[in-house]
Each structure stands twice: as structure tokens, then as C-alpha cells.
Amino acid sequence: MTTHSDVSQIAPYWFGRPEQEIRAAVAARGVAWGCVPGYSRYEWSDKGGIRRAADARAMKTRVLNSGYEAVNVIRDSDGKQVCVLVHVMVLLAHHPAFTGLDQFPEGLETRHNPVTGPLFNAYPEGLWPGTKAENAADKDEPVPQHPCRNAPACGNMVVTPDRRCAEACVPAVGREAAELLRLGMPLQQVAERFGYTGPDWVYQLAVRHGGYEGSKADARTQRPGAVQRLRLLARRSDAL
């Protein structure tokens, strides 16, 4: 029986590799197809695809609320339609430790590449089996590989593209937002100034990093007075 000891001694492909290199490796290589016992009507590719075995017709998938890709298939044992996760089936079809298995051995689950995210279902570049603790560690410690939104003025890196860094730029937004709110600018306008569609996050930053003490309700409905409008005009500049 395969256990976590059979697979946990080998580091996932993505360790130490930047996202661009990982995606380029998948694009450059060929594609292999494999089957999973109990689902003989289908084939699963090592790039995350699924097709009908009879006619090679591609199957449509969907993204669940959990953020994972899923597909409806017919199970051999009872002919019933069931929903399965694509990443699980790709691992079962292609990882050598799972050959002949229709489910993960006890104690194992899918580790997703934290850089490419939960919808990058290529094996081995985006998927690897591991324990629950290893999976949690992947999620807790993503590797920042994208420039901060304020680059080149800010040289920090972030996990998600087009985001501000938490070290410097997010606190700076909070301080600036607090000042704008004190000058009477409505909360929604402040949020839009920094590129946010909703006001809640900017309000939290203003309180946490800028010491803003007004209520959210007042911040939503306030309007600047004449003197405040002049001060706002004097502060006009590009958002952080």
C-alpha cells in the first residue's frame, strides 16, 4: 500500500522556480494522457485536461466556490454521474505512486503550486501529493514573485500580480486614506482613488495605519466643506 512516506521524500517540481519558468516548461513539453480505475470512459492529461476516451472529445469543467476545478463524470461501478476534482484525477492518472488506484491513500492529499494557484492542474509543475501539514505549509508560505503595484518606486515583491506590498505601500495607503477622510472626502471616493471598487478595505486601512477615528457610516456620507475642498485640491496627486 502506498503511504505518504513513498512520496514525501521528493520535493515538488516547483521548489525554487519562478512562475514564468514553470509555465514555460508546461507550454514547451508535450502532453500525456492517462486513465483512472473506475472511470474508464475518460482520459486525463498531465496538463489538466479531460476528454472522452471513445472519441477524444474535450469535456467542459467548472470552478467550484472552493476555487478548484471540477467536472461531472460517469462512474463505472454504478453508472451514476458524480462530480470529481480535476487535480485529484490528474494526480491519480499520472503520479507513478498512484498507478492502479482510484483514490488517494490514507493521509495524502493534493498540494497545489502556491505560485501558480489552484487552477493550474499540470503535473508535476502544478500538482504534487503530500500530507495535510505539507499542504497547509504551501498555503501559509507563498513565495512573492511579482513586483509591487508601485514599482519601480517600490522595489518589494508580492504574491499576487498588481497588488501593493504589505511592508510599505499598504500602510501608506492607510495613512493617506485617513488624511483624505479627515478632509471630508467620502469613503467611496477615497477607495476609488486607490483603485478599490468597495470601501470596506480602505476604511480598515485608514483605521489601522492612519489612526482614523470616524465611523464608517459617517465616512460614507460626509462631504468636504469649502476650506476642506481647497485642501483636497492642494493634495491632488496620483494615488499610491
- CATH number of domain containing 135: 3.90.75.20
160 vs 153, which has greater pLDDT?
153
Q: What is the pLDDT of residue 8?
A: 53
Burial class (CB in 10 A: 0-12, 13-18, 19+), 228: middle
Q: Are residues 117 and 154 in the same domain?
A: no
Tally of domains in the chain: 2
Q: pTM of whole model > 0.75?
A: no
Q: Are residues 122 and 34 in the same domain?
A: yes
According to the 3-state scheme, what is the secondary structure of the chain?
CCCHHHCCCCCCCCCCCCHHHHHHHHHHCCCCEECCCCCCCEEEECCCCEEECCCCCECCCEECCCCCEEEEEECCCCCCEEEEEHHHHHHHHHCHHHCCCCCCCCCCEEEECCCCCCCCCCCCCCEEEECHHHHHHHHHCCCCCEECCCCCCCCCEECCCCCCCCCCHHHHHHHHHHHHHHCCCCHHHHHHHCCCCCCHHHHHHHHHHHCCCCCHHHHHHCCCCHHHHHHHHHCCCCCC
In the block, cell 485617513 appears at 178
Whole-number Cα distances in Å, 85 to 66, 92, 204: 11, 11, 36
Q: What is the pLDDT of residue 24?
A: 92
Q: Do the domain assignments include residue 75?
A: yes
Q: Are residues 215 and 121 in the same domain?
A: no
Q: Do the domain assignments include residue 73?
A: yes
Assign 142 a pLDDT band (cuts: 50, 70, 90).
low
Range of the domain at 30: 4-142
Q: What is the pLDDT of residue 88?
A: 96
Q: Point out the domain boundary residue: 142, 166, 183.
A: 142
Q: Are residues 136 and 35 in the same domain?
A: yes
Q: Are residues 130 and 224 in the same domain?
A: no
Q: Do the domain assignments include residue 23?
A: yes
| Grid cell digits, residue 94 | 499520472
Whether the per-residue pLDDT at 221 is higher than 80: the answer is: yes
| Grid cell digits, residue 187 | 469613503
Q: Are residues 45 and 131 in the same domain?
A: yes
Q: What is the pLDDT of residues 67-83, one digit of tens each?
A: 899 999 999 999 999 99
Q: Are residues 66 and 17 in the same domain?
A: yes
For residues 76 and 210, give the distance between their C-alpha atoms in angstroms, rounded to a whole number. Answer: 60
Q: What is the pLDDT of residue 3?
A: 47
Q: Are residues 126 and 13 in the same domain?
A: yes
Are 71 and 62 contacting, i.e. CB atoms less than 8 angstroms apart?
yes
Q: Do the domain assignments include residue 240?
A: no
For residues 91 and 12, give the distance between their C-alpha atoms in angstroms, rounded to a whole number. Answer: 13
Q: Are residues 51 and 157 in the same domain?
A: no
Q: Do the domain assignments include residue 109?
A: yes
In the chain, the percentage of residues whose pLDDT exceeds 90 is: 60
> CB atoms < 10 A from the CB of 54, how many?
10
Q: What is the pLDDT of residue 2?
A: 45
Q: Are residues 200 and 86 in the same domain?
A: no
Over residues 198-225, the mean pLDDT reads 93
Q: Do the domain assignments include residue 41?
A: yes
Q: Do the domain assignments include residue 56?
A: yes
Listed range (11-20, 64-73, 186-195) with the worst mean pLDDT: 11-20
Q: Point out the domain boundary residue: 113, 142, 171.
A: 142
Q: Point out the domain boundary residue: 118, 142, 166.
A: 142
Q: Are residues 200 and 216 in the same domain?
A: yes
Q: What is the pLDDT of residue 10?
A: 64
Q: Are residues 112 and 151 in the same domain?
A: no
Whether the per-residue pLDDT at 238 is higher than 60: the answer is: no
